[in-house]
Copies of this chain bind each other. A is one copy, B any other.
Amino acid sequence: MATGTRRERERAQREEMIVRTARELAEAEGWDAVTTRRLAAEIEYSQPVLYSHFTGKAAIMTAVATQGFEELAQLLRTARSAARDAGGVRAALAAVARAYTDFAQERPALYDAMFTHAVELRFADPEGPDVLRAGFGELLQAVEPLAGGDDPGVLTETFWAGLHGLATLERSGRLPGSLHDRRLELLVGRFAPADG
């Protein structure tokens, strides 16, 4: 029994190493470089070991994406609370918007795993994992004071779409990144008309 817990612990550590290695590899060389063979070599085990932890490569990417959602939510919370103390509702919205696009730009592989791959995560489902809704909740709290007569949830979704569009179009080179700040300012301005 005592040895049983040790093996469980070692197994959990190995699983954590798989996810961490996949993430590091993706952030360093992109998801195309994350192959099951390469990943197995990095953790110094054979390929089939991966499949004793995850159902497949997609599940590994989902695990990485889940980490991303946790970190993004944390970043948004920090940004919003800091700006709320310093400025008004507009500053809070600008702060979360900035934090969001910074996250997307600085961790592109993580953002890809969260929002362009790994569709198996259920988003709109109220029964879905909390981690998926935490980040949205931060956006919601920043948008809500500015909703006026509009539905805060739907308005937040729309604002989020704006951020996501900026992040993806700039990342892929469809929009030149040099004007990012101005676009962000315009987007925030359209959702938070006046004050500070």
Report which A residues bind B (CB closer than 8 A).
115-116, 119, 122-124, 150-151, 154-155, 157-158, 160-166, 168-169, 172-176, 179, 182-183, 186-187, 190-191
A119-B173 contact in complex given A168-B168, A190-B190, A191-B190, C-beta closer than 8 Å? yes
Q: What are 24 A-to-B residue pairs whose CB atoms are below 8 Å?
A: A115-B172, A116-B116, A116-B172, A119-B172, A123-B174, A123-B175, A124-B175, A124-B176, A150-B186, A151-B182, A154-B179, A154-B182, A157-B169, A157-B175, A158-B166, A158-B183, A162-B162, A162-B165, A162-B187, A164-B165, A165-B166, A168-B168, A190-B190, A190-B191
Cross-chain contact B169 with A183 (CB below 8 angstroms) = no
CA distance A158 to B164 in the complex (A): 11
> CB distance A183 to B164 under 8 Å?
no
Q: How many copies does the complex hold?
A: 2
Cβ–Cβ contact B183 & A154, under 8 A: yes
Tell me if A160 and B165 are in contact (CB < 8 A).
yes
Q: Are B116 and A173 in contact (CB under 8 A)?
A: no
Residues of B within 8 A of A122 (CB): 173
Nearest CB on B from A162, distance (A): 4
Asked whether A183 lies within 8 Å of B157 as measured between CB atoms, the reply is yes
Q: How far in angstroms is the closest Cβ of chain B from A131?
A: 14
